Chains A and B, each alone.
Chain A
């Protein structure tokens, strides 16, 4: 008897949860209560990391430091070029009278949990509704797109990764603008491109960037790199496999993107202001480079001010 009642209740809950929105508040409240669970479950891993950090020898720290410095130098060089290119791009776009490209606002969040189900590729991050996270928000790591937010709780959010079988993203080949859809395969290692014609100009090593056509992901972020193109396989379309550029199962710090939906004029003025403030900050940073370096110790704190600073009021 009790079996019957509870089973019917379960089925009813499932149907309601799948079809209607009524259970969402309940869910998010339960999520609020249960978020410490993930924190607790993750505790041993974090303690271990902290311990290894504490115990790692100074030589390895020095080596890492040198490597990071070299990396920073390379990035700086690219950034110098980028500033010039951005300015040029904005000017050209003004000439063409098209929408200005603005840096999207991003916030940094930390991974706090993985989905226990091995057949889905979802992760939990430590930013939620209270930080302005919204459904469908794109998530990046340092090297590319990772996925999108599919569930928002007050202090946490669930992110569906690109490689999940239920996920697809519109992309284009960076070399020639060829559009395609990259579909997750359920394997963490590669994506597949759907419906690419036999004669399409695509080859190994091509970089796929998000095309922004789905109105969900901002355009121009790297998604994947083509590794395998099988022609003449007897199927109507090409079989194209690509490795995600984001380190989907290694990144611990992720970026949440707020792309804006403002008019071109607003964007242009905001971009100008942001550029100005960024320049000013850069100038300040050059005059007193020692001060911030000594303050920021954790890797989490370091990138945060840099990425949030130039955004201004870029919230949609």
Chain B
């Protein structure tokens, strides 16, 4: 959970709320398939830079929020988010040393695993997507990762979050 003696913790919450907002923001029909996994990326960033603050709790909480917003079963977005956050946290020591491109490659795998879990849950609830297009957000997110990282890095330095 994000709590304890956290300096300027509101920045984290605000950024995650922004991610939540972005993940339901209207997009042109043609880009609808490629909606980046904003929440996954933002939570991954905070998990990489501030691992001692946890992040699993936040992943759970925001996953539930996303479920309510998108009308899926409670926990259907939460579970993939928790799993990918767990993977990020367990690879954190290595991930933080990687250059940005390598980070985005690893994240692509992690977020892809999350999407596969999502697919599995969707199949269980009878909403199986007909094609492999559900994986499109993953490379898109990987491409966006360096920019997300830089932006959040700036915010973290600017507001002195640690």
User: Which residue numbers of A lie inside 8 Å of B, CB to CB?
Assistant: 2-3, 6-7, 9-14, 16-18, 23, 27, 30-31, 34, 37-38, 40-42, 44-45, 113-120, 122, 150-151, 158, 165-166, 186, 249
Complexed CA–CA distance, A122 and B55 (Å): 31
A contacts with B: majority SS? helix
> Inside 8 A of A118's CB, which chain B residues have their CB?
32-33, 35, 133
Contact A17 B75, CB 8 Å, known A30-B68, A249-B29: yes
B70 touching A117, Cβ below 8 Å: yes
A18 touching B73, Cβ below 8 Å: yes
B side interface size, CB within 8 A: 41
A6 touching B127, Cβ below 8 Å: no
Complexed CA–CA distance, A116 and B22 (Å): 10
> Inside 8 A of B73's CB, which chain A residues have their CB?
13-14, 17-18
B127 touching A37, Cβ below 8 Å: no
Binds A, one of B78-86, B96-104, B147-155: B78-86
Return the chain A residue nearest B59 by Cβ: A6
User: Which residue numbers of B lie inside 8 Å of A, CB to CB?
Assistant: 20-21, 23-26, 29, 32-33, 35, 54, 56-57, 59-60, 63-65, 68-76, 78-79, 82-83, 86, 121-122, 125-127, 129-130, 133-134
Complexed CA–CA distance, A165 and B21 (Å): 26
Report the minimal beta-carbon distance from B32 to chain A, rounded to whole angstroms.
4
B26 touching A41, Cβ below 8 Å: yes
B134 touching A119, Cβ below 8 Å: yes
- Residue in contact with B69 in the complex, picked from A2, A34, A42, A44, CB distance below 8 Å: A34
> Inside 8 A of A117's CB, which chain B residues have their CB?
70, 72
> Inside 8 A of A165's CB, which chain B residues have their CB?
127, 130
Contact A27 B74, CB 8 Å, known A116-B24, A119-B129: yes
> Inside 8 A of B127's CB, which chain A residues have their CB?
119-120, 165-166
Complexed CA–CA distance, A185 and B90 (Å): 41
- Residue in contact with A17 in the complex, picked from B32, B35, B56, B74, CB distance below 8 Å: B74
